[in-house]
Structure 1
């Protein structure tokens, strides 16, 4: 499969030549929306900065427990556009439409689409950062690892308050002595169990096996820089998940650049992740990676 993905990315420019110019002609300045697959959910939108040069790209995956939400829920910070960065927001199929790994396949397919059609879309996908919030962070990290495996590593990854291993979500909250703000992830009715198609608590090993942490355990390739932020009062996804991501990233590549901080008093998302110091940190990281 990695070879097939690499081949798709490398030869995709040929296919793009036939239809890419039409995409470039019809897009409205500053905004565009297009399909990257045949399912109605497989859409992305592009916010362009001013200027005519091929823009570096920030790809964002939204939150929503894989079951709800839309790309439009994620704000496009004007600072990115002012810095000459194009922002791409991606929708993937939700868990009521398709089970995992459909969402990982969709996220990778969206990036492949940008790689294949980047020149005609006014983008420079060779300079790309992947970012996700909550469930979107799980997708951003997963997609980054898939790109690393085929030698097409992104320039950076931003993980904001994301789960990284469904099999330990409940145990992590218990370890920290926090009462969960929703039902147990182990239950058959949890968003994680509905996503995977089986109760996490009954197939814990299988739930771990699909996680970014399990993939990192098997990797020893150079990894891109990563910024990790997580609230230290999160009662939905314990910050131990972020700590494990940091440790797994270091184990896979001890030389990788890691910017890891817990956000004091912050819960799962919210205003703390839209304002300074988190906002300033994210902006600085993305701009530095895409300069």
Structure 2
């Protein structure tokens, strides 16, 4: 962890001598409420200021760490900063603590971002698996607060807890996870009750349920979705549910949607240069001034 003195020294050096190479700031505290409230900033080459992606790790809400998230060089080469953050896990706090952490980090970066050459209003929210659930959830809250992100990215995230088991059953092959309805599932442990016992409630707090409750004239930001067609952990119908719900609220919203035909949950295809280049192009298009 960076000490306060070393952080201040690094910031002073950046202010006096803007770096020509990629710069990194690690373990900045966006809140003092938990040791998990830390984030890293990865800056592109140049003086900036830069648009930025707040990227959220997966791990079934109960594990994972920001350091495990890749920092795609294609994003940095496109002039987009990447911010990786940790949030409280489900064995530390129940939902909605995790969304509150994302909102706290976003607010911190909107206030303090210019110190690190970030343009506060040119933010995208994205994540993978559990992190995608958090990213889309936080984006919807920011939309409700009239502070929408410029873009949203969902990589193989669960989007409706209440329908996950039915979606898996339709695939016709053995799931690679405990049923979401089980009291011991990642989703049930996050919300603090068995999803199967309170299905309507679990759906209502999920992004798809929240979208169904929004005013149909609400303007939504551009959305990028990538999901593995062979995913037996978070079924690909979850991506379809999000796309349909997003489109139902805002038919004019830009949606970049694709299923990876041969990929499962977070498998090798998501690290391919073509996927990272598509992400960079999507963000560059929608984070431009």
Q: Counterpart of 1:108?
A: 103
Deviation at 1:21, TM superposition (A): 7.9
Deviation at 1:278, TM superposition (A): 2.3
Q: TM-score of the superposition, structure 2-length normalised?
A: 0.90
Q: SS at the partner of 1:224?
A: coil
Cα pair distance change 1:97/1:47, threshold 3 Å: same
Q: Counterpart of 2:4?
A: none
Q: SS at the partner of 2:153?
A: strand
Match for 1:240 among 232, 237, 252? 237
Alpha-carbon distance in 1 for matches of 2:257, 2:75: 21
Match for 2:193 among 183, 187, 198? 198
- Counterpart mapping for 1:60-139 below 5 A: 60-139=55-134
Match for 1:273 among 265, 270, 273? 270
Q: In the alignment, does 2:276 pair up with 1:289?
A: no
| Contact 1:137/1:158 (8 A) holds in 2 | yes
- Structure 1 residue ranges, 4+ long, deviating more than 3 angstroms after superposition: 20-24, 26-29
Alpha-carbon distance in 2 for matches of 1:165, 1:130: 19
Q: Counterpart of 1:249?
A: 246
Alpha-carbon distance in 2 for matches of 1:92, 1:42: 6
Deviation at 1:279, TM superposition (A): 2.4
Q: Counterpart of 1:188?
A: 183
Q: SS at the partner of 2:146?
A: coil
Q: SS at the partner of 1:289?
A: helix
Residue deviations 1:77-119 (CA, integer Å, cap 9, x gap) = 1121122211100110001100000001001111011111122
Q: SS at the partner of 1:277?
A: helix
Cα pair distance change 1:26/1:170, threshold 3 Å: farther
Aligned length: 272
Cα pair distance change 1:27/1:202, threshold 3 Å: farther
Q: SS at the partner of 2:224?
A: strand
Alpha-carbon distance in 1 for matches of 2:118, 2:281: 21
Q: Counterpart of 2:29?
A: 35
Deviation at 1:27, TM superposition (A): 7.0
Deviation at 1:26, TM superposition (A): 7.1
Q: In the alignment, does 2:12 pair up with 1:25?
A: yes
Alpha-carbon distance in 2 for matches of 1:217, 1:193: 22
Deviation at 1:289, TM superposition (A): 1.5
Q: Counterpart of 2:224?
A: 227
Deviation at 1:46, TM superposition (A): 0.1
Q: SS at the partner of 1:31?
A: strand
**Superposition CA RMSD, Å:** 1.8
Alpha-carbon distance in 2 for matches of 1:163, 1:70: 18
Q: SS at the partner of 1:261?
A: strand
Query: Which has the larger displacement, 46-55 or 134-143?
Result: 46-55
Cα pair distance change 1:185/1:202, threshold 3 Å: same
Q: SS at the partner of 2:197?
A: coil
Alpha-carbon distance in 2 for matches of 1:62, 1:55: 22
| Contact 1:133/1:162 (8 A) holds in 2 | yes
Q: Counterpart of 1:215?
A: 210
| Contact 1:21/1:120 (8 A) holds in 2 | no
